[in-house]
Amino acid sequence: MSLLRLDTSILGPRSSTALLADLVEQEWRAATPDAPVVRRHLGESPLPPTAWAAAVATRFAPPDRHTPEQRDALALASALTDELIAADAVVVAAPLYNFGVSQHLKTWVDLVLTDPRMAPGGRKPLTGKPAVLVTARGGAYGPGTPRDGWDHAIGWMRRMFSDVWELRLDVVERELTLVGVDPALDRFTELAARTRIAAEERARAAGRNLALREGAFPG
Ligand SMILES: Cc1cc2nc3c(=O)[nH]c(=O)nc-3n(C[C@H](O)[C@H](O)[C@H](O)COP(=O)(O)O)c2cc1C
């Protein structure tokens, strides 16, 4: 049993998604104390921004014409895909930034998608693998709020992980993390506290479920 944990926050020790992912990991760890955790922190060690284009460019030239940069990009995509396929379970921590998906997460997904094992119409090596996506946003985006529909990250992440990669996805969401940071949100202090507690409970439950569902993954 092994866990791949992917963090994408750019906020270092202040990260709310890392805190939620810690709770998922702790519960998973309690059920599988000796299992290895492979960590990749894309916010702290971003992937090279030019790697994806270099990997895509290899499709239009025979291997003996690939440049050193293109070969490096293919090797990186292959290593990232190895990590993902080898893991028995996956945790992705990905905040909402500028109403969209973290650029670091997008680069990682784009690169993984260049690997031949992940090509459309292929064997679908991730089908049924249990995964938890934790996400956080500074504001509130639920039905009836002025910004209902402005979170353009969560839909894409669900589409990619659940529908395209066919991971067995559990999603933990926390809102209003900017309460206490942005004075304009002070009136939401109580709601933010309740939302935080609920998200932390959901994260613990997701960690426990992850360990349970892991055994069911056919491999
Ligand atoms: C550069 C930047 C852009 C952000 N953009 C948004 C946004 O568009 N909407 C929102 O609700 N919160 C936004 N936030 C707030 C984050 O979503 C919030 O702080 C979240 O908890 C970040 O997760 P993290 O702490 O794990 O990085 C932004 C924060 C940063 C640093």
In a domain, 201, yes or no: yes
CB under 8 Å to 55, separation ≥6 — which residues? 70, 73, 74, 76, 77, 111, 114
Rounded distance from Cα 95 to ligand 1 centre (Å): 6
Q: What percent of the chain has pLDDT over 90?
A: 93
**Cβ(33)–Cβ(67) below 8 Å:** no
In a domain, 219, yes or no: no
In a domain, 198, yes or no: yes
Rounded distance from Cα 6 to ligand 1 centre (Å): 17
**Cβ(157)–Cβ(196) below 8 Å:** no
pTM score of the predicted model: 0.96
In a domain, 21, yes or no: yes
Sheet of 168-174: strands edge to edge?
A: 37-41, 3-7, 89-93, 130-136, 168-174
Determine the structural domain holding residue 159 and report its residue range.
3-214
In a domain, 42, yes or no: yes
The domain that holds 111 is classified in CATH as 3.40.50.360
**Residue 52: other Cβ atoms inside 10 A:** 22
Residue list, ligand 1 pocket, CB within 6 Å: 9, 11, 14-18, 95-99, 136-139, 177-178
Number of domains in the chain: 1
Q: What is the pLDDT of residues 136-187, one digit of tens each?
A: 999 999 999 999 999 999 999 999 999 999 999 999 999 999 999 999 999 9
Please report, as a single letter, which amino acid is at residue 79: A
In a domain, 19, yes or no: yes
